[in-house]
Structure 1
Amino acid sequence: MSQWKPICRVDDIPVLGSRRVQRPTGCAVAVFRNAEDQVFALLDRCPHKGGPLSQGIVFGTSVACPLHNWTIGLDDGCAREPDQGCTQAFTVKVEAGQVYLDVDELNSLALDEVKAAA
């Protein structure tokens, strides 16, 4: 059974934008909101050169990395063709407008990933 950590309200995430969630170890997690108020969470690191996805442009269910414009799927963290590679996706739960992330995932996934220098 999962433990859920409250992160913020959906309304605290800009439409077509993101918020960053710092973790004690490893790279931060970016929590995204699209135009349909769907919420997604990815490691804040592009699989290409480590760009900060939280600073990218959100469109549909994707985000464009601000460094080299790679398109990353918000649902799975994978680059769209012709690019290849994935970043870690995190489970998100939204209840009554509150956004939650899985505590076990925050404490265990992709802890060895650090933000690369641009």
Structure 2
Amino acid sequence: MTAIAEGATPTTLGAVTDLTPGEGRAYAVRGLQLAVFLLSDGTIRAMDAVCPHKGGPLADGQIDGGVVMCPLHQYAFSFDTGACTSEGVGAAQTYPARVVDGMVMVDI
């Protein structure tokens, strides 16, 4: 079980069956736009849905290993840290995510 970050609130987004393996989906929750990804190995990853560079939709980005590529300018952001692989571009906030009883949970 993933530990909940101090001050974070576990939030249910929906059923894991709503996600397509290898693709992202955007959610609006608690005033945030989140991009949630079901990776091919079955893990769930969550980060800000808006690219810090020019506001591109990260949920629509292509997954390449441990990163998602913004569809606007091809900047890649790490699922682990949110850091961009290119210098001079800000990071996307990441959030701990997991599946509990078939439901996607994200700590916000």
Please give the alpha-carbon distance, in whole angstroms, between the structure 1 residues aligned to 2:59 and 2:23.
8
Confirm whether residue 20 of structure 1 aligns to residue 18 of structure 2.
no
1:18 shift after superposition = 1.4
Large movers: runs of 4+ above 3 Å: 81-84
The code of the aligned residue for 1:47 comes to P
1:24 shift after superposition = 4.8
Q: Secondary structure at the match of 2:35?
A: strand
Check conservation: 2:57, 2:71, Cα contact below 8 A: yes
1:57-98 CA deviation, whole Å, 9 max, x = no partner? Answer: 112221110000001111211101345320111121222332
Structure-1-length-normalised TM-score: 0.74
Moved more, 82-91 or 56-65: 82-91
Q: What residue in structure 2 maps to residue 94 of structure 1? A: 99
Decide whether aligned partners of structure 1 residues 10 and 60 sit closer, same or farther in structure 2, where only a CA change above 3 A counts. farther
Two-structure CA RMSD over aligned residues (Å) = 1.9
Q: List runs of 5+ in structure 1 lacking aligned partners.
A: 106-118
Confirm whether residue 39 of structure 1 aligns to residue 44 of structure 2.
yes
Give aligned pairs, total: 102
Structure-2-length-normalised TM-score: 0.80
Q: List runs of 5+ in structure 2 lacking aligned partners.
A: none
Moved more, 35-44 or 11-20: 11-20
Larger strand percent = 2
Larger helix percent = 1
Please give the alpha-carbon distance, in whole angstroms, between the structure 2 residues aligned to 1:28 and 1:72.
16
Q: What residue in structure 1 maps to residue 72 of structure 2? A: 67
